[in-house]
Structure 1
Amino acid sequence: MASSFEGGAAASLKTVLDRVHQAADRSNRNVKEIRVVAASKTKPVSALRQVYDAGHRFFGENYVQEIIDKAPQLPEDIEWHFIGNLQSNKVKPLLAGVPNLAYVETVDDEKIANLLDRAVAKIGRKPLKVFVEVNTSGEASKFGVEPALCLDLVKQIVTNCPNLEFCGLMTIGMLDYSSTPENLKTLSKCRTEVCEAVGIPEAQCELSMGMTADFEQAIEMGSTNVRVGTAIFGPREYPHKEEK
Structure 2
Amino acid sequence: MSIPTNLDSFRKNLSVNCQLIAVSKTQPVESIREAYDAGQRVFGENKVQELAPKYEALPKDIQWHLIGHLQSNKVKYIASFVHLIHSIDSLKLLEEVNKQAIKVQRTIDCLLQLHIASEETKFGFSEEEVMEMLTSDAFKKLSNIRIIGLMGMATFTENQEQIRREFRGLKSFFEKLKTTALPSTVMMKELSMGMSSDYKIAMEEGSTMIRVGTAIFGHRNYPV
Q: Distance in 2 between matches of 1:74 and 1:93?
A: 16
The question of whether the paired residues in 2 share the 8 Å contact of 1:154 and 1:194 is answered with no
1:130 aligns with 2:113: no
1:109 aligns with 2:103: no
Instruction: Find the counterpart in structure 1 of residue 192 from structure 2.
Output: 208
Instruction: Find the counterpart in structure 2 of residue 120 from structure 1.
Output: 101
1:15 aligns with 2:9: yes
Q: After superposing the two structures, state which structure 1 stretch, 147-156 or 57-66, moved more.
A: 147-156
The question of whether the paired residues in 1 share the 8 Å contact of 2:27 and 2:222 is answered with no
Specify the code of the residue in structure 2 equivalent to 1:92.
K
Q: Distance in 1 between matches of 2:127 and 2:189?
A: 16
Q: Distance in 2 between matches of 1:115 and 1:100?
A: 15
Match runs of 1:19-98 below 5 Å: 19-20=13-14, 24=15, 31=16, 33-95=17-79
1:235 aligns with 2:219: yes
TM-superposed CA distance for 1:158, in Å, is 6.1
Q: Distance in 2 between matches of 1:101 and 1:205?
A: 18
**Number of residue equivalences:** 219
1:166 aligns with 2:147: yes
TM-superposed CA distance for 1:19, in Å, is 2.0
TM-superposed CA distance for 1:34, in Å, is 1.2
The question of whether the paired residues in 2 share the 8 Å contact of 1:82 and 1:103 is answered with yes
Structure 1 stretches lacking a partner, 5+ long: 25-30
Deviations 1:51-85 (A, max 9, x none): 11111110000010000110111111111100000
Change (3 A) 1:173 1:153: farther
Q: Distance in 2 between matches of 1:149 and 1:172?
A: 17
Specify the code of the residue in structure 2 equivalent to 1:100.
F
Deviations 1:109-156 (A, max 9, x none): 00000000011001112x111000000114210011123322223445
Structure 2 stretches lacking a partner, 5+ long: none
1:183 aligns with 2:160: no
Instruction: Find the counterpart in structure 2 of residue 27 from structure 1.
Output: none
Higher helix proportion (structure 1 or 2): 1
The question of whether the paired residues in 2 share the 8 Å contact of 1:81 and 1:103 is answered with yes
Q: Distance in 2 between matches of 1:155 and 1:50?
A: 44
Deviations 1:4-54 (A, max 9, x none): x7xx1111111111121xxx2xxxxxx2x2111000010001111011111
The question of whether the paired residues in 2 share the 8 Å contact of 1:131 and 1:170 is answered with yes
Q: Distance in 2 between matches of 1:78 and 1:155?
A: 34
Change (3 A) 1:193 1:160: farther
Q: Secondary structure at the match of 1:197?
A: coil
With the length of structure 1 as denominator, give the TM-score of the two structures. Answer: 0.84
TM-superposed CA distance for 1:193, in Å, is 2.6
Specify the code of the residue in structure 2 equivalent to 1:82.
L
The question of whether the paired residues in 2 share the 8 Å contact of 1:77 and 1:100 is answered with no
TM-superposed CA distance for 1:104, in Å, is 0.4
